[in-house]
Chain A
Amino acid sequence: AQSVTQLGSHVSVSEGALVLLRCNYSSSVPPYLFWYVQYPNQGLQLLLKYTSAATLVKGINGFEAEFKKSETSFHLTKPSAHMSDAAEYFCAVSDGSARQLTFGSGTQLTVLP
């Protein structure tokens, strides 16, 4: 069984500030981890993924995430928030199969001017 916990359903940051969205996972097998982003009235799109290669993963739009096995975490960061980053972010875990993808409950990111 696998699960994902996203800490904080809402996060607000000022434009230019660090973005940190937290994700912890549980998996009985080596996990594959993902961050998806959902802009208003749109579907989800892949931001980045970890598939057992480098533990620091770089994604689109300046986001990156670090896989920490000892902490069972996969937190998403961005050094400097932009207004266009306002969206909902979902962490997800799979056992290596798209058929077993489990999503977290999401974190709504608000960027303040």
Chain B
Amino acid sequence: DAGVIQSPRHEVTEMGQEVTLRCKPISGHDYLFWYRQTMMRGLELLIYFNNNVPIDDSGMPEDRFSAKMPNASFSTLKIQPSEPRDSAVYFCASTEGQYNTGELFFGEGSRLTVL
């Protein structure tokens, strides 16, 4: 089975530009998570979805960040406008089951650099 697929793997953009990161979860998984990883703050949960519905977006840093999941096989994380402090690796992860104890399947990440 294919794992979680993220694109792009690397993105370099200038401050003020819009950035869209994409994620395809593992087929059959009903939970999808977006994490951000930085040296300073480690791994932070930004938002998660259950059955395509956003459940908790309290980790989204600002209104510049938005996430959608239009169907079970696709999600986007958008930053508009982007700022240098948004530079990080963004991970998408998926899992199945309401009672899953914490086993997440991660994509390889999207490394974002905002100049």
Q: Which residues of A are interface residues toward B (Cβ below 8 A)?
A: 32, 34, 41-46, 49, 51, 90, 92, 94, 96-99, 101, 103-106
Q: Distance in Å from the Cβ of B36 to the closest Cβ of chain A?
A: 12
Write 22 A-B pairs (CB below 8 A) sorted by A numbering: A32-B102, A41-B109, A44-B104, A45-B105, A46-B103, A49-B103, A92-B102, A94-B101, A94-B102, A96-B99, A96-B102, A97-B99, A97-B102, A98-B95, A98-B100, A98-B104, A99-B48, A99-B55, A101-B104, A103-B42, A104-B42, A106-B43
Q: Tell me the dominant secondary structure on chain A's binding face.
A: mixed
Q: Which residues of B are interface residues toward A (Cβ below 8 A)?
A: 4, 31, 33, 42-43, 45, 48, 55-56, 91, 93, 95, 99-109
Q: Are A45 and B42 in touch, CB under 8 angstroms?
A: no
Known: A43-B4, A49-B101, A92-B102. A99 touches B91 (CB 8 A): no
